[in-house]
A and B are shown apart, each in its own frame.
Chain A
Amino acid sequence: MAVDTESFLHLSRPLAPTALNFQSSNSPLSVSIQTQAVLSILDHAIRRDLPTAPASSSRVIGALVGNRSEDGSEVSVSSAFAIPHTENEDQVEVDVEYQKNMLSLHLKAHPREALLGWYTTSHELNSFSALIQNFFASPETGTFPHPAVHLTVSTDPGADVQLKAYISAPVAVNAERAAESCLFIQVPHRVAYSDSERSALELISSAKDVETRSAPVVSDVEGLTYSLEQTLSLLDRVSDFVSAIIDEEQEPNNALGQYLMGALSLAPKVDPSSIESDFNNHIQDVLMVSYLANSIRTQIDLSQRLATAALANDEKTEKDGEKGEKGERGERGQRGGKRGGRGGGRGGGQREPREPREPREPREPREPRENGD
């Protein structure tokens, strides 16, 4: 599943210097970016330092990490981490040490991932970009022999968030300036999300039209309600469209008519009685499971209560007994009777196999007294 696939013609990637016994492939490269990497970058863009001087740039940079297919023709960016850097008119400083440490920390938790390239939060490509790109593409510190991917994410207020992916080829007017120049070539990219992330994206999207930009995690039934409402409104729309055509209020459309016919013919032909019985059977099964689950819960709840409640009950009866002995004899008999009833009720429970939690020995002293009554 992917969004944001632009039509893109990409014939071959630029020639790159090759290692002695490594023939770099020059087949097209495609970049897929997973949503949490984009979210990471956007989060970093928000948490940027305020520019100290007006001249310094407000963009932030970070590293892209992820997987590369075996032939290197496809890379999948699965996460990103920020790297502190400072940039002004004359120079750029990237915390190389930080990048190294963070990468090793990240790889500890994701052992099968590798450094892929870097990102920045502005579309501008300048000589500093080239400098950083060459750093990330170099054999010692970067992705060589694979090309380093450079991802630019526009984060200008009031504009759409746009992504662009590049790889680079070395180019230089002379040897001295080779470090700070390179040729950026745009490559196709897509934002991809898997099935498992769909539900998460759904939840996140539910907050996109809300003023507070936050939404509660909904239960299954609530989610179902929203989905049903949405589907119903879509169906209504289609039926409105069809009836408008039948009433000759709207121009008919052959393509849509064919499409709708195709869709409707997919409905299975069934025997009403068999459906009725299948339906009844299944709903009974489901309700039975629900009933059983709840009775198991009640049973276990009861067992837990009895496990701790039995002793407390006994203490109370003991106290009752003491008071009773001090009091009138008739009253005592009455109490004794009550006690007996309670004891009997509990005795009934005892016969069940799952009632052995009741501690036995504190009951012992009570029996003779009851007999004495």
Chain B
Amino acid sequence: MALHQEPPLSIGGIPAFEKALPEDRTSREEEGHFLVVSPYTEKAHLLDLRTLDAENALLAQALVHMKCLRSDYATAPYIDTFNWSEMMEELGRLAGRDGHRWRETSFYIVAFRSQIPPTTVYEDLGTLDKAAHAEATASGGFLKYWFGTPDKDGRNLATCLWRSQEDAKKGGVGPGHRRAAVAARDLYSHWKIDRHRLIIRDDVKNAPFKTVQVEALVVMKIVKHCAASFPTTATGCIVGMDKEGVLEVTNTFPFPTTDVANVDSSHQNDASALAAAAPRAKANMVYQNDMIRHLKEVNVDANNVGWYTSATMGNFVNLGFIENQYHYQRDNDRTVALVHDVSRSSQGALSLRAFKLTPTFMAAFKEGKFTTESLQKSKLTFKDVLVEFPVNVHNSHLLTAFLHQLPAAPPSAEVAMPTSLADLQRDPVKLPLYPSSDALDLSIDPFLEKTCDLLLDSIESHYTELNNHQYYQRQLAREQAKITAWQTKRKAENAARVAAKQQPLPEDEWQRIFKLPQEPSRLEGMLNAKQVEQYSKQVDGFTASVSAKMFAVRGNLLPE
């Protein structure tokens, strides 16, 4: 017998299911704890779930849904033959139902590929097989048995899934199996046994992250880079690691930009456009990989976890941003876009936000279709484009020590009295960094003004979008009218021809003659709506703080 050691089959992790779904009784032909795991349904062929631990029992139940996807299963690659992804989903659902946290488990798969000559009676094989199966079931750890029917050349596939290799060995020592093996020599013209390992990873590792934790160093570097290149957009790469639901961002470096010092300011937009496109530029991918390789040597976390960009008054929701994030998220789902708003940070608290594209939007963007029809089908609205994550900043112990050396709040204990006014002026009290008195600055109108300008821009682009659609609809109506006219004409013609006992002309030719205009993409409009939402929330924030400040000023100037 030829035994082939195959590389392990790695079928991803099971997706984590948050909530248990209602149990689907009809598809699980279960009789208490006995499970039908093979084409044989007699008692001796049923799997007793009580003999298995949680992982194996769950997998056995998920395997009930095993389906063959290909008709050429006898020769097709093993991993393509069955509906693994569906089964893994089912497994996640079952684990969620039982509240079980999946631990990484490895299983053993035997695939028996055979060919019988036309002379062999298939039923004889069946009897032998059945006996061997009952024996294997009794020995334990036999999770699934499946076989097909021979194709026209007599080729076939049978496969069993075991708890482990030891179980598979034990299951194959009985007299029934031996009889079948002896018979195999005469009955098959050719056979081959493939062995695979099925590894199902932890769901903990696969759980998506829920918060983003940014190291102080990263905050400082991003702020510095964005402020230095303001008002040009600045972009860079962030590295870190994803740990138990928290995406830790531990280091960062900027992408190289073209030097615009000598170019006059009319080219500023070009520089911004270049910088905004930097994260998906080919040259920068090389730079990024180079840099990460170097950082790895000095013990920095060497995983790319996304990118950052600077923004002015929250104007970052545009196609370039989406494309960048898509570019990162396509390869690795655990990536975020950090957005640092330079203008907003200058008038109040630091604005640093983390965004990701939603899976539905990812799928839609991959298709590249944003027509009315596809949007209705996917129920995608502008609210589903981005998902925001809470951002935390984290300091190392050493940094905490350092921060305590920076100016702190005035001491609460008794202080030495100054002897003269000059003393006070020479050595003014240093205000603490936190909470900062800068937040009490009263000049907020420029920011409101700027946001209003940006809102007007958004309305402008909204109108452009509307006009595009109007144009499209007029175009469509005109074409449709033409088609109807043509169809009536052709019908009349055909009626005349039938009356004249002639062959009628085909009536669906219009599809060739007329071409319906392409519907413009709704993506721009969607992003614009998202952007407007962003602005108006920002205005709300401004209003809240400005009215508080104004009441404070009034209270100060007009004491009651």
Contacts and interface: CB of A to CB of B under 8 A. Distances in A.
Interface of A: 3-4, 34-36, 38-40, 42-49, 78-79, 81-84, 95, 98, 101-102, 105, 108-112, 155, 160-161, 194-208, 213-224, 226-231, 234, 251, 253-256, 258-259, 267-268, 270, 272, 275-276, 279, 282-283, 286-287, 289-290, 292-294, 296-297, 300-301, 303-305, 307-309, 311-312, 354, 356-357, 359-361
Given A46-B398, A203-B350, A293 B539 contact: yes
B529 A304 contact: yes
Contacts of A78: 224
A205 B402 contact: no
B381 A305 contact: yes
A321 B287 CA distance: 62
Contact of B420 (A49, A98, A255): A255
A210 to B, nearest CB: 9
A356 B470 contact: yes
A214 B392 contact: yes
B547 interface: yes
A48 B299 contact: yes
B392 A83 contact: no
B227 A194 contact: yes
Given A203-B393, A230-B437, 9 more contacts: A39-B220, A202-B434, A204-B399, A208-B395, A216-B390, A216-B391, A226-B439, A230-B432, A287-B547
A199 B350 contact: yes
B403 interface: yes
Contact of B253 (A109, A202, A215): A109
A44 B441 CA distance: 37
Interface stretch (B44-52, B180-188, B530-538): B530-538
A208 B359 CA distance: 37
B382 A304 contact: yes
A43 B348 CA distance: 27
A217 B352 contact: yes
A265 B274 CA distance: 53
B546 interface: yes
Interface in B510-560: 522, 525-526, 528-529, 532-533, 535-536, 539-550, 552-554, 556-558
Contact of A201 (B382, B421, B433, B462): B433
Interface stretch (B22-30, B58-66, B264-272, B405-413): B405-413
Interface stretch (B96-104, B170-178, B321-329, B473-481): B473-481
B223 interface: yes
Contact of A307 (B423, B525, B533): B525
B495 interface: no
B168 to A, nearest CB: 44
A12 to B, nearest CB: 27
B131 interface: no
B319 interface: no
B459 interface: yes
A220 B298 contact: no
B362 interface: no
- Report whether over half of chain B's contact residues are helix, strand or loop; otherwise say mixed: helix
Contacts of A194: 227
Nearest to B353: A217
B435 A226 contact: yes
Given A231-B440, A303-B462, A197 B223 contact: yes
B545 A39 contact: no
B261 interface: yes
B491 to A, nearest CB: 18
B215 interface: yes
B502 interface: no
Contacts of A47: 298-300
A214 to B, nearest CB: 4
* Interface core residue of B395, B404, B533, B547 (most chain A CB under 10 Å): B395
B294 interface: yes
Contacts of A48: 299
The 5 closest A-B pairs by CB, nearest first: A196-B227, A223-B349, A226-B435, A36-B220, A82-B298
Given A47-B299, A197-B220, A361-B480, A294 B439 contact: no
Contacts of A311: 372-373, 376
A290 B407 contact: no
A282 B466 CA distance: 35
Contacts of B554: 275-276, 279
A78 B477 CA distance: 62
18 contacts: A42-B402, A81-B298, A161-B402, A196-B226, A196-B345, A206-B393, A214-B394, A216-B390, A217-B353, A219-B349, A220-B541, A224-B439, A255-B420, A282-B550, A286-B448, A290-B543, A303-B462, A354-B466
B396 A300 contact: no
A283 B552 CA distance: 12
B68 interface: no
Interface string B351-378: 1110000000000000000001101100
B394 A199 contact: no
A47 B250 CA distance: 11
Given A42-B399, A110-B254, A290-B540, A49 B405 contact: no
B150 to A, nearest CB: 48
A98 B293 CA distance: 11
B331 interface: no
Contacts of A224: 348, 439-440, 545, 548-549
B116 to A, nearest CB: 54
Nearest to B403: A208
Contact of B435 (A195, A223, A282): A223
A160 B399 CA distance: 10
A211 to B, nearest CB: 10
B217 A43 contact: yes
B49 to A, nearest CB: 43
Given A202-B435, A220-B348, A43 B251 contact: yes
Contact of B287 (A108, A198, A255, A294): A108
A312 B376 contact: yes
A44 B350 CA distance: 25
Nearest to B345: A199
A166 B335 CA distance: 42
A4 B405 contact: yes
B130 interface: no
Given A109-B254, A200-B220, A227-B439, A214 B393 contact: yes
Contacts of B259: 111-112
Contacts of A217: 349-353, 390-393
Nearest to A62: B298
Given A224-B439, A275-B554, A203 B392 contact: no
A318 to B, nearest CB: 14
B398 A222 contact: no
A255 B419 contact: yes
B401 interface: yes
A289 B350 contact: no
A49 B558 contact: no
Nearest to B374: A308
A205 B421 contact: no
Interface in B253-307: 253-257, 259, 261, 287, 290-291, 294, 297-300
A270 B557 contact: yes
Nearest to A273: B558
Contacts of B553: 279
A164 B421 CA distance: 33
Contact of A101 (B294, B394, B543, B547): B294
Contacts of B529: 300-301, 303-304
A258 B417 contact: no
B19 interface: no
A124 to B, nearest CB: 18
B318 interface: no
Nearest to A191: B406
A229 B402 CA distance: 25
B493 interface: no
B257 to A, nearest CB: 7
Nearest to B346: A196
B190 interface: no
B71 interface: no
